[in-house]
Amino acid sequence: MEFEDALECFLTYCVVEKGLLKQTISCYKEDLICFNKINKKNIVEELSLNDVEKYIIYLNNQGKAISTILRMVSSVKSFYLYLVHEKIINCDINQIDLPKKPSHLPTVLSFEEIDLLLEQPDLTKPNGIRDRAMLEVMYASGLRVSELINLELSDIDLNNNYVRCFGKGSKERIVPVGEYSSKYLSIYINEYRDSMKKGYYTEKIFLNNHGKEMTRQGFFKIIKKIAKDKDINKNITPHMLRHSFATHLLNNGADLRTIQEMLGHSSISTTQIYTNVTN
C-alpha cells in the first residue's frame, strides 16, 4: 500500500473510530508527512522501527525541543499501531527508546497579571469585546484553547452560567463560568458578533477579524500582544491561563477532584501537579 493511501485511511480511522478533534487530526497529518519526507519509503509495508529511530535522530539534529520530538514521534507511533492493527506491518513500536522529557512545573500567572490581561482589551471596539470574552471564559473555566475556539452558540447557557465543551476523545463535559464571563459573552454575542460575520456563516462563537472562525494561532497572537502591551515579562501562552485557573482554585481551597472534573483530566495524577505549583 502506498504511504499516501495508508495515511488517508489512518486519518479516516482517527475521525470515525476514535473521534479525535480536528486539530489533532491536522497535527497527525502534518507530522506524518514530515516523517515520510525523511524516511522516503512510499510503500508502508517497508516501514520498520529503524525508520522511527532515524526520524528521532533527524529531529534531534534539527534542534527540536524534546517536547516537540515526543509529540511528532507520538503521531508516528499512533500510525504504526494502526498499521499493526490492520496487519499491514508487524513490529512492536513500544521497543523504541524515546528521549526523556525533563520534569518541570507549569508556569502560571499571578492574580495581578491576570487582572492586567483582562483590563487590556479595548472595550469600545468589537474585537476588544471579543478578546475580553475569550479571556474571561478561558480563565473562569480552564478550557483548553481548542475547546474554547470550538465552542458553538448551542454550547453556552448564559442564564445558568455554564458552557459545554468537548475535550480529548470528544468527551463532553459541563463547566461553570463566572458572572463576568457570562456578561462579556452576552455583550459580544448579542451586540457585536453579527456585525463581525462579514457574510460568512458559522455556529462557532468566536470569530476573527475576517468574519471566520477564530484559530489557535489567532488567539495565541492576541494574547501575546496583550501581554506585550502590559509588560508581562513571561513567555505567555493560552495554556498558561488553564494552568493559572487550576492553581488559583487550589490556592483558594477548591478540592483536587473538582478541579480534575473541570479540567477534563482522565486521571487525578495529572491534576496533582498543581499541588506542587501551589507549594
239 an active-site residue?
yes
> Is 114:63 a contact under the CB 8 Å cutoff?
no
- Per DSSP, 213 falls in state B
Taking the C-alpha atoms of residue 128 and residue 121, their distance in angstroms, rounded to an integer, is 5
Beta-strand pair 156-157/172-176: unpaired
Cα 171 to Cα 165: distance, rounded to the nearest angstrom: 8
**Cα end-to-end span (Å), the chain:** 53
Task: Concatenate the DSSP letters of all residues of 223-262 into one string.
Answer: HHHHHHHTT--S---HHHHHHHHHHHHHHTT--HHHHHHH
Sign of the dihedral through C-alpha 15, 22, 210, 157: positive
CA torsion 81-84-86-88 (nearest 10°) is: 130
CA 34 to chain centre: 21
CA distance linking residue 145 with residue 181, whole number of Å: 16
Chain-centroid distance of CA 240 in Å reads 11
User: Which one of the listed residues 29, 168, 183, 204 is annotated catalytic?
Assistant: 168
Instruction: Tell me if residue 104 is catalytic.
Output: no
Could you tell me if 265 and 144 are in contact, meaning their C-beta atoms sit under 8 angstroms apart?
no
Active-site choice (130, 132, 144, 243)? 144
* The Cα angle at residue 156 between residues 150 and 159, in degrees rounded to 5: 165
| Residue 173 is among the residues annotated as catalytic for this protein | no
Among candidate residues 153, 193, 176, the one with its CA nearest the CA of residue 259: 176
Known catalytic membership, residue 265: yes
The three cell numbers locating residue 116: 492586567
Annotated catalytic residues are 144, 168, 239, 242, 265, 274
